[in-house]
Amino acid sequence: MSDQISVEFDVPAAMRDGVELRANIFRPAGGGPYPVALVRTPYGKDFSSVLPVGDALRLARAGYIVVVQDVRGRFRSGGAWAVFENEASDGYDSVEWAARLPGSTGAVGMYGLSYLGFTQWMAAQSAPPSLRAIVPALTWWDARDGTVGRGGALELGLQAYWQLNALALDVAVRRTAGQPPAELMRALAGVVNEIDGLRGEGYGALPLGEFAPLARAGMLGDLQAALANAENPGYFAPYSIRAGYARGQVPALVVGGWYDIFTGGSLQSFAALRGAGSTPAARQSKLVMGPWSHVNYSNAVGDLDFGFRAQMALMNLQSDLTGLTVRWFDHWLKGIDNGIAAEPPVRLFVMGANSWRDEAEWPLARAEATPFYLRAGGVLSAEPPDDELPDPFVYDPADPTPTLGGNLLMHALYGPGPRDQRPVEARADVLSYTTPPLDRDTEVTGPLVAKLWAASDAPDTDFVVRLVDVHPDGFAQNLADGIVRARYRNGPHAEPLEPGQPTELTIDLWATANVFKAGHCIRVDIASASFPRWDRNLNTGEDPASATAMRPAQQHILHDAAHPSHILLPIVPRSDD
């Protein structure tokens, strides 16, 4: 097959309601027929947002007709943009349209990251008969667990930045269509000013229901809807993979990152499909987890370099993700027995050891959930507490504990990944509990859950738990964290706290894969905010959509025999144990 490729621009596809969506089509030279690799994006088909997980030119040279389509209401496609809403029906129609393209074999695969991954899951759940396989990368599982919210708190940092940086510019172009060019430039400048404002006071705007940066950009509607439906999980179900994964009939090559905003989503979607997919093919899904963030797929993430083999461009010196995608599609769309089906289903990058490892399942069956208890004097110990006094701190939403690294997609001032936590840990509103230096390497790989006994004098407040790897030089590497809004501790319906009453809280930190090397320490940090990643709890119990008044909260973390606060760490036994 020749390396020559032809490209058709703005090819229309009619949806069931008559709306036309536009796509660019990359065709290999020669008559074919060829399978189709479909990408559906809200970020502009003429831009390079899909390249990190699938270079259209390379896929075409590998013998695929590559279709990159603008979703409804975005860039060159017709219709009205409504975030999340049309991707199932439009996905079905687009897959079947792609299968009928001249020169197509009728077999279609889909690939792409983030929202582009969501479009794949929605198409798969609608069960178009021509869809054979998908490659969803860095994509959510439940909109209430990392996309719109987390633990009952609002994902403010993500939502404000994503709406302004990724969506608002095209919205401004459409709203000023037919007006003088000066109006367009004024609208674009306004959006850019709001993006820049997030590095200053922008994230602090109150009330959230009138969040000024989004309101001034004409992008407030989705945030208002999220706030209005905070206690209505059914509202978010159509926008979540969780609600319909069992309808998925095709195998997925799931790709995620330990510092991605959707770490939990990647792991949960793989485990669910692998265990309960509706077809044998779906249950042959595979997982790749690297040390990456949502926008950084290199070996250097945050403050750390995980080694050359860590980068997505050459994983373990074997393949980049485009090459792996080609192998996946070759097997499922072309029927080539290239060995990928026989390979282990899980490939993990284990931080600390800084190496890749294949596994038979996720979570690892051999990992042992081991409690590490908070103890007096800032100690973290495998021994449970006896009679110990609680540790107090004051959380003041007027000066909230700041975000520093982690699973972020925010203004560039808030970089994702591992960052030295010592500046945050030095604050009076953060409690740290640390083991003595370890005498041997200790691997923690799997889901992370904290059971925290806390009391507050406020009717509602938040608690954040963070797992940290403390290096011998003092560098405090954040690994994973989570939050709980106390009013939602038992589910989506608000239950105020009884002031001063000890309350058990469960906090999901998602997961990690990390070897705490000998000489390192395991640390757990506790605070009541990570702002502006998550919206501040104002401690009043008022509706966050309208609240502006705030008050400090006196917090107590209990750790005694009756209230054994702890974190469950999935310890992987050593081969020499």
The residues annotated as belonging to the active site are 114, 260, 294
Residue showing tokens 């997919």:
277
- Taken as a whole, the chain contains a residue count of 577
Beta-strand runs (E) in 355-502: 355-359, 368-375, 379-381, 391-395, 431-434, 442-456, 462-470, 476-485
Question: What whole-number distance in Å separates Cα of residue 6 and Cα of residue 314?
Answer: 28
Question: What whole-number distance in Å separates Cα of residue 195 and Cα of residue 192?
Answer: 5
Rg (CA), the chain: 24
Question: Residue 383: which residues within 8 A CB-CB, separation 6 or more?
Answer: 373, 375
Question: What whole-number distance in Å separates Cα of residue 100 and Cα of residue 103?
Answer: 8
Given a contact cutoff of 8 angstroms between Cβ atoms, the answer to whether 497 and 482 are in contact is: no
Question: What whole-number distance in Å separates Cα of residue 8 and Cα of residue 28?
Answer: 12
Question: What whole-number distance in Å separates Cα of residue 91 and Cα of residue 93?
Answer: 5
Q: Locate 537 and state its tokens.
A: 């709890």
Strand partners, 26: 7, 66
User: In the chain, how long is the greatest CA-to-CA distance?
Assistant: 78
Give the single-character DSSP code of 208.
G
Beta-strand runs (E) in 385-520: 391-395, 431-434, 442-456, 462-470, 476-485, 503-516
Question: What whole-number distance in Å separates Cα of residue 541 and Cα of residue 272?
Answer: 35
Look at strands 566-572 and 368-375 and give their pairing: antiparallel
Closest CA to 28 of 83, 103, 110: 103
Closest CA to 217 of 149, 138, 160: 160
Instruction: Indicate if the alpha-carbon torsion angle 392, 396, 399, 401 is positive or negative.
Output: positive
- In degrees rounded to 5, what are phi and psi of residue 89? -70, -45
Residue showing tokens 């705030």:
550
- In degrees rounded to 5, what are phi and psi of residue 302? 60, -130
Question: Residue 399: which residues within 8 A CB-CB, separation 6 or more?
Answer: 429
Query: What is the DSSP secondary-structure string of 269-323?
Result: HHHHHHHH-SSTTGGG-EEEEEEEESS--SSEETTEE--GGGSGGGBTTTB-HHH
Residue type, 415: G
Give the single-character DSSP code of 225.
H
- In degrees rounded to 5, what are phi and psi of residue 501? -85, 125
Q: Crossing angle for the helix pair 181-197 and 168-175, nearest 10 degrees?
A: 160
Residue 83, classed as helix, strand or coil, is: coil
